[in-house]
Every structure is written in structure tokens, then in C-alpha cells.
Chains A and B, each alone.
Chain A
């Protein structure tokens, strides 16, 4: 780790202001950034911690029935407070990392980082959620732009995420054995007007929607609907833990299991 300054603003406005200084870097729960700093792979001059901003905390229902989660809300809080409203999302949050990670890591931090093996991007894309920042609202379909790449501008801060609550949903994750990130994770959400399927962990382009499965499941929400489908291994990640073929295969298996388990 290199030496750095740290600021802990209490409001979104102050955070945005602090992030305008040279070499400033936003710090969410620190579950990726702190290990990066320890390895001397990043050298920010100032860390702007978002964890003391009250208006970015908590889970609630909006008037239009969406589940609204403050960007600085930890996974553990989402797992607990979203359970009554959106079981699929609570289940996902309760299986990220381990208890220590869940009690520090935040939804905003995960989405801003957009790790290709992170869980939350699957839920956000799989529900067509909306990312609210200090400056604007971004649709999920526009937000994810490839591995570790998002629509966020320099200094822009995610403040909230709004999830339309599905009739049925589930997240099925096959873990990479060492890191226990998603080797392949599939979020399936059934709405009155159709089904969305989003896949994390598998693609070199980051989280993506499996449109063929969405169409098939919209017609028949059962694992059998997937029988005739297959996933192209082209563009899938290949590493120590999974070949592109294996990941492509797992996308189908996990999608089927998510459909079976959806509540």
C-alpha cells in the first residue's frame, strides 16, 4: 500500500465535490479496492469513503412498487431487508463472498467495479433495474459496457438502484472453486410481460442477456423450454477453472436450475 489521504463526506454533494480533486478515488465497502491498494496496484492520492453517507443507505419500496436500495447498502443488509419483497435478490446478496465480505461490500461498489464474475450485475441486468447516480438515471441495458467498464463518467457516483420486483425469480451460481466468485451465475426473472435472463461470470464481455432463453421461457417458464437451446462458446472466458465450452454448458444448466428454483 502507498500512503494516501482519506475523506469521509456525510452527503452525496460533498462526496461528489471531494471526487473532483486530482487523484481522488471513491471507496465503497473496499472489498476489491483495498486488496488492490495492498498489492500496490493502485495509488490514489485521496480515498473518498461513501460509507458515512446516510442518504445512500437502506432498502425501501417506492410508490410504484420498485425496490430501492441505497448504493452504500451492504450485501448483508440487502439479504435481510429485501427478503420479504424480492426473495431472488435477497438470496443473491446472501451468497456473495463470506460474512466478512457481506458486511462490508456494497451494491454500489460492486456495480461501479463491474467485475465480470460479480453477482449483482446479473440481478440488475436480469431485472432491467435502473441505476441512479448523482447526475442521472441509467437503464441496466445501457449501464454495463464490458469487463470492469460501465456508463459511469469520471467522478459520477451511484446513489441508488431501483429494481422492478418480478413475479418469480432466482439466482443460480456455480462458484469458481478458489475465489467463490461466479464461474457462471444466472439470474432469471419472470414479469407479466416476459422473462429476462442475465448471465455473469461467463463472458469476456461481462454480464449479458441470453435472449434466446428469454424468448423460450417467456413462452413456457419451465426448464424444458431450454432443451433445444445451446450457448455459443465463442467469447466465453477460458481460464484455470473453466474452458469456454464448460462455461457455455454451465450457462444452460444454471439457467434451467434457476427456473426450477424460481419463487
Chain B
């Protein structure tokens, strides 16, 4: 039964009132007295040697306060990669320096080589145009295969374009090769996981402030994880001590991964603020967002599925080239490896899995984690090749998946890709899916479509992902240079209301609503009396931020632990007030009661007592009521799902229309069903966008052809169907206190193969021998495929 309050209730999102009425405070909304504007000079060529930069004219233009070039940052550190990946031969990955401003060479269109600080934006833009850079253009390195084969390098100092050559699990390689060689049937598929531009509604923006009196800095910036940004700036890039740097991420208008990372513009505004002694603001325009936000995906993969004639899976083997772009962004080395290769067993009991990933430098924008991050790539490869195998073997696409599913009695299940799945029930998800999709009626619907000249297809998919990242012990072994715990401080104020400071950062997820639902239920108080504080390193405990569907599973767990500490201490205070032993005090519905009596005090009375400790046993209990907990999970969480959709293809134009889409997910326990549904809707929109619409395309010269909304297709409402979303039958996560798994990325992970499988089904139904089309399945690509079939 849905509840009307607390955990499991669909409380409306309290933050939406300010977002929908224009009362939010985004970074660009912040006005400082004496603020100045930074504008960057960006390379118009993909690869070039900086011969000279003449800033003299710009420096003398009206309003100009300072001009920076790469030379000004030559002596400071580089922006590092957060994960160290070792190649199959044991050598560490190649890590060329990523400078604040390009120095010596520019390496992608949009690479910043100079910056102007001026009184006004207009003055800064005019001066930026007056900077004369002599850049000797070199041939662009764009195609990954050519980059690996060629003898020209994005970073000359490393002498290769290969960042690493990673095998997972290397010890399984020989067995997998042998199994495939001996298999009765092998299905092979070559595919591209298309490069995406994140396109957060709010472009990146950073404001640097320097306080000469305290020799301290404040950076206000569009970040999903202000503590991580502070750590990177302090420990690696600028050496500003952490205690002298506050990073604040106020309201943030979407991130999808692109705002996890530290970018050079953040360092620049801090350095500039110190130099001129005034606040410095930079706000990206949309073109800068296209050219310089970390892009997503961009894998080229060959996958083989070996199976018995009856469809029993024997082995998956993949070879992938993963584009990392011109520089290593912070999570760029983890995304194609440990967020991808470890998931390559899918939901299946397949005994052999081997994954090879070569990461490749190219003269393109850096590529990093984007909603789903590695798991969409894994799911897409697995579920597309399964669909192809089912067709080749003449087995029903649901049946072949069910045949190989991990069964409910097999948990905990260690997959052939090395992860231990703690819980799940994939057959139950498929059962629910089948109830929703009316498969018996499909033939009639296909016939009705045909009567209108349309080809109808049904696409199916199952996915598993690993999120709630992650156990620090495990990720440490896997190469992470940071821990991946999170933290929360629960502060009970004297008057009984609460401020909860969390390390997670909400930029659309609804933390401000859901987190109070949980604490409110635990304490038996109204969620409206609880506020969440996030995004300010001077206020919150050291947490790792929001990405990888981790906020509730990791930070929420820390919050639960801190609240448990509050209850334990409050019990002691209540026992003192009630003149009883703490062991004899029960806490329920906000009341502390002495067992077997009617003696009780309320939570509010205890809170007041904690801060007005008259007649207080100070030798036993400290005053105040505030607790902090750090939580480091025991394992990833493993959301899973079964998806289906029906599409109609117009054979005369190649246009695909998604007629219906059903998403059945196991997110474990659900804290707020409405918000979970919203997260799934958003993920589906992005996944359908990847499948049908979105594609970042560079030409051979490294120019981004899809650098604006004139050529990069964002999903619009009329591109998307009404969704059926069902997450009612989750299996709780076994290792975190709320039993939650995470829902932010699922839709974007599960939907692309569902769509492509449906389109292939539609074309096959018309007798077209089309076995694969690379995403996005634009009208042109679908029509082309039909002409050639």
C-alpha cells in the first residue's frame, strides 16, 4: 500500500517550488560587488602547435584587467585522472598532463589557450578577439583505429595514442577463447556506442573569489561534488590548502556526469581573482558547452556470444576501443573499464567472459562518465548480440534471456565478470513485463500498422547495472585513487527542527524532499521540519558527491547511521529526564517512553534539553544533539530491469516512432515512488535520445559538426511516448540499511538496446535482412539500411 507520509510516500518535490517559480539560485545568478568577467580564447583547430600568442593589444583595451596564457600555469599541476588503470602487460596507463590552459599545443577544437579578465563581458569578448595566436595546424587525429595505427600523437611526450590496453579478467582470457572456439554457435556483432554531448540545461559557470585578509579562496561552481573539486584543486592543480579553499555548488541545473569533473576554467577564475583582487566570473555559452563539457560513450566494439544450439550461453568476448578524447578527464579511465567490463556478464549465468578495452587519445573533447557511464555500453553490447543470436537460432527473445538468467536461489551470485550480485529476481521482472506488454495482441497491432503502411517492431531487453558506487576497499584494488564513501551530519536544533548536512549534491534528483522523508520517519517528526544542506564544503562533511546512482544508497545510508546515533543519544537524555535507565526507554513515533509505564517525553523536549542542559549529567552525556556518520558500502548495489517497446518504422522515410515503452525495474526498496518514476522517465528520455536522435560527430579535421542544436538532436516531448513504469516488486539490497539500489541511470542504460532491437524486428518483419544499425537510428540511417538490405 502506498503510504501518505514518510518512507515510501510520494511527497511532492519541495525544491520544485523554487525551481518552477524562478526562485532558484544558480551560479550565474550570484552577483558579487566588483565582479569581473572572464572570457576564453579557444582553439578553432583540432591539433596545432602554438607558435606564439600576442596579448599586447588585448592588454591595452578598455576595461581589461588581466590576460592569461598557458605560460602562466606552466609551473602548476595538471588535472589528474582519478583511476589508475594498468595494461594487460602490467604497465601503468599513460597520463599526459592536462594543463589549466593549453601550452605548446592545442589538442581539440575548443581547447582554451588564453583568457581575458575585464570589467564587462563585452570588453572581455572584444579583447579576446584581439589576442593574436599563431597556431600551426597539424593533421587531426580523430578516428580511433587510425590513431592506434599511426605515428602522429596527440601527446608527443608519450609516443603513443593508446592510454592503456586493459584485459578483464586477464586470467579468463584463454578459457574464454577456448570456449568460443569449441562452441556450436557464435554470434558476432560490431557496433558503435555513439558519442553524446551531455547538454545540461544550465551551462557550466564558475566564480572565483580571493580574500587577501585571510589568504583564502571561495569557488562557486556548477559541480556535482564540491569536495572532490576542492580536493583536486588543492592536492593536484593549484596547491591551495584545503582549509583555505571553500567550494560551493549552489542550485545546479542538471549534470548527468558532466559536472562531476574539475575543469581548467575553475582554476583560472581562482588564479585570476587572486591576481586582480576582485571576483571573476565565467559562464559558458552553449557553444562552449558543446565543445568542452566532457562528452559521453564513444566506444567501438566487437562482441561475440558463444552458445549452445538451445541458446545456453557459453561465453561473451568483447574488443572495445574507447575514446578518451584529447585529455584524461577525472573518471575517464574508470568508465570504459570498471564501470563497463565488470558488467559484461549481464543478468546471466554465462561461465566465460573476457573484455579487452583499448583507450585511445584523439583530437576531440575529453570523454567521461555520462548518465550510466560504462553500463549503457555494456548493456547495449550484450543485449544487442543476444537479440541477434536469438534470431539466428530461432529462439524467442524472452525465452533465450530467461534460459540464462541468474535464478533467485543463486544469490549471492558471483558473475563471470567478477562482481558479486547480492539480490535480484530477473524472471519476476520479466513476468511483470509480460503482463504489461500484451504480447498476444502484438500480431494484431502489427497488422493494423501495416494497413497504414507502417512496420511495427517489438524490442526486448534485460539489464543489470552496478551503482551506489562504491566500496572503497574494492575500488582501491581496482585502481581508484579516492575513496567512495559518503557522509552526513544530522543536527537537531534546540527547537526540535533539523538541519541535515550531506555530502551528496542534488542537481535535479530531489534529495531535499526524499532525505527528510527518511529522517522524519526514523524520528517520528514532520519531514517539513527537516532541511537538507548540501553543496558547500564549509558546511557539510567530506562526502564524494552525486553520480553513479549513489546518493541514496551511500549518502542516504550515512544519514541513517547518523540518525541512529541521534536516537541513541536522545534515548540517554530521555532516560535522564524520565529518571530511568536508557535500556528501559523505548522510542516510537517521536516519543520516548519508559517500558511498561505511561511516563514519556517527546523528541522535541529532548532536543530542547540537549541545548539547555540544566541539571544535566555532564559527566555521562555531552550537551547538544548532533551526529556525523561516514558510510562506506560493503558492495555495489545491483539494480536490474526488463524493458520492452514497440516502434513503428515508416519504410518510405526511415522515420522511427516509439509507440509504447514499458520499463520494469528492481530498485530495491522505494523511498518516494513519484520521484523514482520521474528519474526513470528522465533516463528513458536520454536513452531514447541516444538510440534515435543524439550523436556528436567530428569530421576528419576534428571539427565538431554537431556543435549546436541546429545539428545535435535533443529529444523533445513529441519524440517520446507515454511510458509504463513499474518498480513495485523490488528485491531489497542486502547490505545497506535502507535496502535501496539506485534509480538515476537505469532508464538510460536499459532503453537504447530496447529501441534498436525493436527497429531491427520491424525491418526483419518486412523481409529486410538488416541485422544491425548503429545509433542514432536517424531516418537517414534506417532508410539507408533498408536500401542496402
Contact = CB atoms under 8 A, between A and B. Distances in A.
Contacts of B705: 240
Interface string A1-27: 011000000000000000000000000
Interface string A166-190: 0000000010011100000000000
A40 B122 contact: no
A132 B733 CA distance: 72
A39 B779 CA distance: 30
B711 A246 contact: no
B693 interface: yes
B212 interface: no
B697 interface: yes
A253 interface: yes
Given A240-B711, A243-B784, A174 B706 contact: no
A179 B710 CA distance: 4
B778 interface: yes
Contacts of B783: 246, 249
B653 A178 contact: no
Given A242-B780, A249-B783, A177 B125 contact: no
Contacts of B287: 39
Contact of A178 (B129, B652, B655, B713): B713
What bracket does the count of chain A residues touching chain B fall in? 10 to 19
A246 to B, nearest CB: 5
Interface string A218-241: 000000000000000000000011
A195 interface: no
A199 interface: no
A250 interface: yes
B712 interface: yes
B652 A246 contact: no
A40 B125 CA distance: 10
Given A3-B122, A40-B125, A241 B652 contact: no
Interface in A2-60: 2-3, 39-40
A178 B780 contact: no
A242 B714 CA distance: 18
Contacts of B19: none
Contacts of A174: 653, 655, 779
B653 A177 contact: no
B236 interface: no
Given A177-B693, A177-B713, A253 B652 contact: yes
Interface in B656-708: 693, 697, 705-706
A40 B710 CA distance: 17
Contacts of B780: 241-243, 246
B711 A179 contact: yes
Contacts of B710: 178-179
B709 interface: yes
Contacts of A3: 122
Interface residues of B, number: 23
B711 A178 contact: yes
A74 B129 CA distance: 36
Given A174-B653, A246-B784, A179 B706 contact: no
DSSP class of B's interface residues: helix, strand, loop or mixed? loop
B784 A178 contact: no
A152 B554 CA distance: 66
Contacts of B711: 178-179, 240-241
A178 B692 CA distance: 11
B156 to A, nearest CB: 32
Contacts of A243: 780, 784
A241 B778 contact: yes
A157 to B, nearest CB: 27
Interface string B746-789: 00000000000000000000000000000000111001100000
DSSP class of A's interface residues: helix, strand, loop or mixed? loop
A95 B565 CA distance: 61
A39 B288 CA distance: 12
B63 to A, nearest CB: 13
Contacts of B714: 178
Contacts of A242: 780
Nearest to B287: A39
A178 B125 contact: no
A249 B287 CA distance: 33
Contacts of A179: 709-711
A249 B652 CA distance: 9
A47 B655 CA distance: 41
Interface string A234-263: 000000111100100110010000000000
Task: Pick from B706, B778, B780 the residue with the most CB of A within 10 Å.
Answer: B780
Task: Pick from A179, A240, A241, A243 the residue with the most CB of B within 10 Å.
Answer: A240
Contacts of B655: 174
A253 B653 contact: yes
A174 B650 CA distance: 12
Nearest to B697: A240
Interface in A114-134: none
A246 B778 CA distance: 12
B650 to A, nearest CB: 9
A39 B129 CA distance: 13
A250 B782 CA distance: 13
A147 B102 CA distance: 38
Contacts of A240: 697, 705-706, 711
A35 to B, nearest CB: 9
A177 B779 contact: yes
A193 B390 CA distance: 59
Nearest to B692: A177
Task: Pick from B126, B705, B706, B783 the residue with the most CB of A within 10 Å.
Answer: B783
Contacts of B693: 177-178
A34 to B, nearest CB: 14
A204 B709 CA distance: 22
Contacts of B713: 177-178
Nearest to B714: A178
A3 B125 CA distance: 11
Nearest to A180: B716
Contacts of B652: 253
B122 A178 contact: no
Interface in B328-375: none
Nearest to A250: B653
A178 B697 contact: no
Task: Pick from B126, B652, B714, B784 the residue with the most CB of A within 10 Å.
Answer: B652
B208 to A, nearest CB: 25
A249 B784 CA distance: 11
Nearest to A38: B285
Interface string B642-656: 000000000011010
Nearest to A257: B652
A100 B713 CA distance: 19
Interface string B709-740: 11111100000000000000000000000000
A212 to B, nearest CB: 19
Contacts of A253: 652-653
A216 to B, nearest CB: 19
The 5 closest A-B pairs by CB, nearest first: A178-B713, A177-B713, A179-B710, A253-B652, A178-B711
Given A178-B706, A253-B653, 9 more contacts: A2-B126, A40-B129, A177-B693, A178-B709, A178-B711, A178-B713, A179-B711, A240-B705, A241-B780
12 contacts: A3-B122, A177-B713, A178-B693, A178-B706, A178-B710, A178-B713, A179-B710, A179-B711, A241-B778, A242-B780, A246-B780, A246-B783
